[in-house]
Structure 1
């Protein structure tokens, strides 16, 4: 089958050519919807772009570990294939690149899909990201799901869930995640309308900064005189070098300044409120996206902690759970842990105060604390206090 034919089926949602069973199959979602266009329009809003970058970039910067659990506790397994996969998921991306792509895709499209390639021993060898518009999901008569994808080499392929890493936003059917852009279309439409209005106002405005009027409304100068006045005024008063120059008008002329209308000024001011609305969609505190209009020095640190606990942690748990399903498999003693301790430590003084309490109550050792802070283990014979 030609790649062009498969792509046309992606665009139309036609899955008939890929059916493997005589019985009809049920397509879960058309391969391509208008949401692909909507995501590009949404990212033109700086607040949406900042929210997506803040969440995806923050999680991509966190350290990831693979642990093996047993009755005695858990031990790190740095040589596990999944640990190597997290450092280099494929030939084109590093671990942070893949993590950032995955989070950005799920935040914009509601879904992020990567194909899992296995080696001859059944170990995960690579994670290849697939853009969501190039993915179609079909429910087979047996009840199983089939992922039909257009891979990077332009070839159509089909996979079953055990070969797919699928991170999804909140779903309405348990299969397809629904993007927040589609859930809050009117909010984004309002923000876009305000942005488009502001751009149009500056691009197409025909409002001068002022006008020159004649004190004697009955007398009107000839066109040549008007052209000469206009040229002289422009040469002497316009441009940065002539800013704040003193202006003298003769011949019964008077200068009258003009400003923005109250309606236009109100429309521009309304854009500030759209920032808070868009932040609510993604659960990001406004200070995280550089909106400090209602910020103080005392609540900036609290906003960062709130961001880590209420925005990042749910996504971290989803990623860990999806790794447990797709990479490790049911019943595996291994698990993925994304370390968020660096975001939960708080300020410098309170962090070390809490460490002191942890040592006094035998919750942590000095070496464990030094490891968290990035120091080498203490030397033999050193004082065992923090």
Structure 2
């Protein structure tokens, strides 16, 4: 069992290492085929690691900005302390990318991702410190809920809910998320068992174990001991030698006992498990290099579906949690908020972008300089005016076309 992966319910704020109950790792995260399934052991399965990596790296690479809406206009709030912390460096140990990647991985593995907000005495943001989910829990101290965790030196630390950014996976309660790995321990355990079976099979020389029996007659105790010693020596030499043939005396018979991999549908089991794990994390199979049923036509559509149905829910989860914890109520009323930019993930081919920009410019809802900015080009003079297709008529408040004033 991997104790580091054990998610414990804490009994007190003074001793986070003390568990509230005697639940075992198998009870908390599940056990299948004699294999303890935890976030640490589950990531030894390639499909689980790939799904967590895909979602975590996607959330980490999205541009994250602090914006402010004032009088109907939206402007970048680069002067707010949250901008530097969220966009560049949340703490001295992590970049924004690493912080978001790790926090998302914690949420997918343990069901909860925690970040402590450190403020000055004046209430200004200073640092966003990552908290490990293995040592962090929500406990009730009298009539108030408090997060019990540890600081960087391992000392107990109590954090108020308003100072903890708590990202949750789907859970059965309002306060804590539930680990997807715990909820699907049987499926992951089957995959780990298949990996272990394949490892043991090939370590044994690629041969099933069997039973050696005497064809005729009986063996004396002395002959039996000599036979066991000779057999052990032969097997040991077989593992160390390039000769993969084991010779038996003529009066001995060998019968295989282990089911061969093809009879156990070893490859089919691994493929099915990989597909089920991709479904568990809501990741398209081709995103974890399962291209068996993928085609060039449907991969493009699946990439769009990945953004809409896999990434977008997490984006919304992140934005709402950051907005309610990073900003005070007064700042939210003043128009401050955070926003992920999904445009990079939905960026099409040059032909598709050119057609999109052409329509946007001709219909008059984008300027040519705005298009240049999206393409990482510098603005040019004279390209800030809106263009309108000559075949398009402007309508007045009554819905009737406005009269066209001839130029003098």
The CA RMSD over aligned residues, in Å, is 3.1
CA contact (8 A) 1:30 1:136 kept: no
In structure 2, list runs of 5 or more residues that go unmatched: 30-36, 209-233, 244-258, 388-408
CA contact (8 A) 1:31 1:134 kept: no
Alpha carbons of 1:17 and 1:28: their partners in 2 closer, same or farther (altered >3 Å)?
closer
Distance 1:104 1:95 in 2: 14
> Counterpart in 2 of 1:343?
345
Deviation at 1:201, TM superposition (A): 1.3
1:56-95 counterparts in 2 under 5 A? 56-86=56-86, 87-95=88-96
Deviation at 1:206, TM superposition (A): 5.8
Deviation at 1:73, TM superposition (A): 2.6
Alpha carbons of 1:297 and 1:17: their partners in 2 closer, same or farther (altered >3 Å)?
closer
Distance 1:80 1:381 in 2: 31
* Residue 363 (str. 1) matches residue 365 (str. 2): yes
Deviation at 1:29, TM superposition (A): 7.8
> Counterpart in 2 of 1:150?
150
CA contact (8 A) 1:32 1:134 kept: no
Distance 1:316 1:286 in 2: 21
Q: Deviations over 1:7-51 (max 9, x none)?
A: 9xx9673327579xxxxxxx9987997358601111001011011
> Counterpart in 1 of 2:317?
318
Distance 1:181 1:31 in 2: 21
> Counterpart in 2 of 1:132?
133
For normalisation by structure 1, the TM-score amounts to: 0.76
Give structure 1 regions of 4+ aligned residues with deviation exceeding 6 angstroms.
Answer: 27-33, 381-385
Deviation at 1:200, TM superposition (A): 1.6
Moved more, 121-130 or 97-106: 121-130
Distance 1:303 1:348 in 2: 19
Distance 1:31 1:158 in 2: 23
> Counterpart in 2 of 1:244?
none
Q: Secondary structure at the match of 2:126?
A: strand
Distance 1:361 1:130 in 2: 49
> Counterpart in 2 of 1:185?
185
CA contact (8 A) 1:134 1:149 kept: yes
Distance 1:381 1:346 in 2: 24
> Counterpart in 1 of 2:108?
107
Distance 1:30 1:375 in 2: 60
Number of matched pairs: 323
Distance 1:175 1:288 in 2: 31
* Residue 15 (str. 1) matches residue 12 (str. 2): yes
More helix per residue: 1
Distance 1:98 1:163 in 2: 17
Alpha carbons of 1:28 and 1:68: their partners in 2 closer, same or farther (altered >3 Å)?
farther
